[in-house]
Structure 1
Amino acid sequence: MKKILTIAVAFVLVLSLGACKKKGFENVDSISYGTSFGMCAGYCHNELSISGNKTTMTRQQNGNPTATKKCNSSVSESEVNEIKKLLNTNAVYKLPKVIGCPDCADGGAEWVKIKSNGKEYEIAFEYGHAPEALKVAVDKLKAISETFKDCK
C-alpha cells in the first residue's frame, strides 16, 4: 500500500512539474521594436509599435525627451500575423531579458517588446546582433521601420 501511495505521489509531482513549463506567449497584443544609441546627437532613440494593423514610429532626441516625433501608418494583417508567429515560440520566450552588452561603448542597442495578456516581455541585445531565435522577426520589423525614414 505504501508503495502505491509513493508511486501515486510521484506521478502527481511529475504531472504538476510538466504543467509549469512555459510555452511561449498565449496572445500577442502588441509588438515593439526599437534602436538606441546613447552617445549620439539627434533623434537616436527610435521605437516602432504595432498594435492590430496600426504602426507608430516614435523618435526621441537624445538629451531632450520633449523633442519627440510620431508618425503613424498601417501594415497588413498577414504581415502582423507572420511576425507574431515568429515571436511566439518557446525559443523566444526562453531568451534572457538582456543579451550581451547593449549600447556599451556606443555600439547601440536593439530590443523587441512583446505584450501578451497584459504582461510585457522585453529582450534587449547589441545593435546588429539579434539572437538566432529573433533574427527573422527583427529583419521584418527593421523593414517596417525603414518605411518611416521620412518621419519628421
Structure 2
Amino acid sequence: MKCQLFYLIVILAFITACSNKEADSIMNQEIIIKGGYFFGECFGTCQATVEIIGTTVKYTGKDNSKNNAEKQCSAKVSARVISDLEAAIDFDEFGKLPMVIGCPDCADGGAQWIEIVKSGESHKVVFDYNRPPDAIKELANFFSAQFTNFKNCR
C-alpha cells in the first residue's frame, strides 16, 4: 500500500511539473502581438493600441483634442487565451501579407493595423478600418473585442 501511495505521489508530481513547464514555455516565448487603429480626422479616441505580452493586455488610447490626453489600462488574461490566440495565427501567412492593404484612412475611413514580433523579427500590416484580410480576420476580431473591453479606460 505504501508503495502504491509513493507511485501515485510521484506520478502527480510529474504531471504537475509537465503542466507548469508547458505554461512556462507559453509565457517565455518571444511573441508580442499588437493591434491598433487610427483616424486622421475625428473627435474622441482617434487612435488606440492593444499590446499583448505574456498574459498582460495593455491598452493605450489617445484623442485628438488640444490636450492630447492619453489613457492607459491593462488587464491579465489566462495563458490559455493567449495560447489559443497564438494557435489561430499562421505566422508564415501573416509574414507574406503586404505591409499596406487597401487605402488605410483614405477619405477618413480609418485604418487598422496588426504587428507581430516573434524571435526578434517584426511584421506590421496596415489595412482599411474594419476590413481585415481573411488571413488575420480572427486576430482582428480579437483586437476589436479588446477595444470594446477597454472603452471605459480613463
Task: Give the TM-score normalised by the residue count of structure 1.
Answer: 0.76
Change in 2 beyond 3 A, CA 1:65/1:47? farther
Q: Deviations over 1:59-99 (max 9, x none)?
A: 01226585211001111111111221222332212100100
Matched, 1:54 2:56: yes
Count, aligned residues:
126
Q: If each structure's helix is expressed as a fraction of its own residues, which one has the higher value?
A: 2
C-alpha separation in 1, matches of 2:67 and 2:83? 32
Q: What code does the residue aligned with 2:37 have?
A: T
| 1:106 alignment counterpart | 108
1:28–1:114 Cα contact (<8 Å) kept: no
Secondary structure class of the residue paired with 2:107: helix
| 1:88 alignment counterpart | 90
2:33–2:51 Cα contact (<8 Å) kept: yes
Equivalences for residues 128-143 of structure 1 within 5 A: 128-143=130-145
Secondary structure class of the residue paired with 1:149: coil
Q: RMSD of aligned C-alpha atoms?
A: 1.7
Q: What code does the residue aligned with 1:94 have?
A: K
Residue from 143, 146, 149 that aligns with 2:148: 146
Q: Give every structure 1 segment of 4 or more consecutive aligned residues whose post-TM-superposition deviation is greater than 3 Å.
A: 63-66
Q: Deviations over 1:104-130 (max 9, x none)?
A: 110000000111112221100000110
Q: What code does the residue aligned with 2:145 have?
A: A
Q: Which runs of 5+ in 2 are unaligned?
A: 1-28
C-alpha separation in 1, matches of 2:103 and 2:62? 22
Task: Give the TM-score normalised by the residue count of structure 2.
Answer: 0.75
Change in 2 beyond 3 A, CA 1:79/1:30? same
Q: Deviations over 1:3-28 (max 9, x none)?
A: xxxxxxxxxxxxxxxxxxxxxxxx55
C-alpha separation in 1, matches of 2:127 and 2:114? 9
Q: Which runs of 5+ in 1 are unaligned?
A: 1-26
Change in 2 beyond 3 A, CA 1:84/1:65? farther
Q: What code does the residue aligned with 2:99 have?
A: K
Q: What code does the residue aligned with 1:119 have?
A: E
